Amino acid sequence: MINRRRMLQATASLAVGGSCCLEEMLQAQQARANPVKITAVKTYLLKTELKRAFGVSISVPLDKTRSTLLVKIETDAGIVGWGETAPIMGTRGAIVDHLAGRLVGQNPLRYRHLLRQLWGRVFHDALAVGALEMALNDVRGKLLGKPVAELFGGRLRDKVPVYASAMNYLEGAEPEDHYPEEAVALVEQGYKALKMRLGRYSVRRESKIAASVREAVGPEIRLMADGNAAYSIKPALAMGDVLHELDFDFWEEPLPQDPDYAAYDVLREKLRIPLAGGEVIPERTTARRLLNRGAFDIIQPDISLCGGISEVLFIAELAALSQVQIVPHCWGGAILIAGTIHLLSLLPDPHWGYPTDTPLLELDRSENPWRTEITDRSFEVDSDGFIEVPTRPGLGIEVDEKRVKKYQVG
């Protein structure tokens, strides 16, 4: 005898298992029909000197350089795929010394098999897996003649709304002077949503700065603020109250992320404005723990930092069960932006009514040559504040390797 709950659990397990088995069977068929092999996995460490130092609240001193890590997967069919991640925490070594050898000689269309190999070899180095998963999707999309979104069941929308990730602290400038001017310029370019950095100065001073931006752009423009871990609970609450009164959409990561987003659940209970966070979540297990704790109103996983598109899709499903919205973090170049756009095209609206809370793309507007120079698409918004989902196979962009090597330092 089994009770109804156990029967339903067993049925659900069979359903999930059956779906995975069917997907693996389909991938096996695709691999047999396309006996292509991975021949090389290459990494490119890029670095540039900034024309003007900038940064967030905790950038002390302000950043004078910018770097990124690109990954290229080559195949014997002449098709290549690209991925991008942050060059920190030994990620390049994990790719070169441990993961590349597991991929060379394998068929890139055996996606689920390869993902399991990647996660198991480096103790869940999510940054390394994120870059390689992005590149694998680019390769298999090109092999199958499909954009990446079609590899995950097909997009739900043809274009995604965007918010400009802007208004950083600049060398030799006061935020009172350039934040409102920058905000107005972005609105004139078509942006309907903007995010600013706060936390470098007192709540009293920066309350006036936030108010000046709201006054400059008017009530129809959506505004957000990122505290970049510069606050303790009391000033985070004080600044949150100010942002609520100014009708900001959310207050992002005002407290330190480490250890384990401590006290975010406490802060969320006291805030009147939605609390966003989770950009450094490494994988689904951490996401589940934080969701169960009630740490966020809006969760922000990043495909380059937590294992790729498939992992963020899993986290999005977990978030939906808790009625937590997802607005992915995205701070990088055109490769990461393209992957995030495909992800956003797959994410459902958080309810069944008229879509007013469609997940937004974070588009970095600071100096960033990997966004503007190394691919054939630099991603600009249309007059309505949207970006179209790429429709060419793979990520839908072409990387100019000569321009990549212009910035390569290793």
| Rounded Cα gap, residues 175 and 206, in angstroms | 9
**Dihedral sign for Cα atoms in the order 395, 396, 398, 403:** negative
Helices (H), 189-223: 203-217
Catalytic residue among 124, 329, 342, 351: 329
- My answer on whether omega of the bond before 350 falls inside 30° of 0, hence cis, is no
Residue 124 annotated as catalytic:
no
Instruction: Kindly give the pairing relationship between strand 386-388 and strand 63-75.
Output: unpaired
Burial of residue 39 (number of CB atoms within 10 Å: 0-12, 13-18, 19+) = middle
The encoded tokens of residue 186 equal 């972005």
Buried/exposed code over 258-278 (b: 16+ C-beta within 10 A; e: otherwise): eeebeebeebbeebebbbbbb
In angstroms, how far is CA 108 from the centroid of its own chain?
A: 23
Helices (H), 122-171: 126-144
Q: What residues act catalytically?
A: 329
